[in-house]
Every structure is written in C-alpha cells, then in structure tokens.
Amino acid sequence: MSRSHKIRIHYRQKGTHYTIEVPEDRYILHSGENQGVDLPFSCRNGACTTCAVRVLSGEIYQPEAMGLSQELRQRGYALLCVSYPRSDLEVETQDEDEVYELQFGRYFGKGKVKAGLPLDED
Ligand code: FES
C-alpha cells in the first residue's frame, strides 16, 4: 500500500468542493472519478490542459505533463490527469481556457493553436 493524501478540490465553475483520498502512485483525476467526482478533462494524457488546476497548497508530481510549460508549472499550475500527490493538497479549477491562453495566447494566432501544441513527437 502506498501512502494516500487528502486532496481538496474547489470546482469554481460549479461552486462545489470535493475532498478525495489519492494514493501517491495514482493520478488525481482518475482517483477522483473512481470516487464519483466529476471534473473537467479531455485527452487524459497531459496534452490538452482541459484538466488544469491551480495548486493553492501542497506538492504535486507531474513528470508527464507535457502540455504544460515549465514556467506555468512553476507558477503553480498542474494537469490533474497526469498528477500524483506528494502531500495533502488544495487545488482549484482554472478559468475556462486560462492555462491554454497563458501558454499559447502570445505565440499563436487564433485558430492555429492546435498545430502549436508541444507534443514532442518524432
Ligand atoms: S485531460 Fe488533457 S491534459 Fe489532462
């Protein structure tokens, strides 16, 4: 058994809070779903930023969050679909497309952003 942490999620758009327990070796999004928590997501593999949250307190481990720039990670954003907890956490959902805009808004024109996703594919 790996250690579990308590994750408090503020789903701002719905005005709801959830508290879930997530083991250190499980993704937070997936564990939440198993516990009946309905959160935004799309790709489930760290590329689209739909599941992005702001981390208000605590520590997250997200080595596969390739859709999130280093800068935004340092500013406290995380992708729940590929995030493991490393402590108890408090997170809140982003404004719609907030992370996407922060990351791509100044580099890409509207309508062209899809092609600009840093997917690191050969
Ligand atoms: S669901 Fe796409 S990055 Fe998490």
Whether residue 43 has its Cβ less than 6 Å from ligand 1: yes
Classify residue 120: in a domain, yes or no. Answer: no
Classify residue 111: in a domain, yes or no. Answer: no
Long-range contacts of residues 71-79, Cβ cutoff 8 Å, at least 24 apart: 72/99, 72/102, 72/103, 77/52, 77/53, 78/52, 78/53, 78/54, 79/46, 79/49, 79/51, 79/52
Per residue in 7-55, pLDDT (tens digit) is 999 999 999 999 999 999 999 999 999 999 999 999 999 999 999 999 9
So what's the pLDDT on residue 53?
A: 97
Total domains present in the chain: 1
Among 81, 93, 94, 98, name the best residue to mutate to test ligand 1's pocket (greatest count of ligand atoms within 8 A of Cβ): 81
Whether residue 47 has its Cβ less than 6 Å from ligand 1: yes
Among 30, 33, 48, name the best residue to mutate to test ligand 1's pocket (greatest count of ligand atoms within 8 A of Cβ): 48
Per residue in 53-105, pLDDT (tens digit) is 999 999 999 999 999 999 999 999 999 999 999 999 999 999 878 898 888 77
Q: What is the CATH number of the domain that holds 101?
A: 3.10.20.30
Classify residue 116: in a domain, yes or no. Answer: no
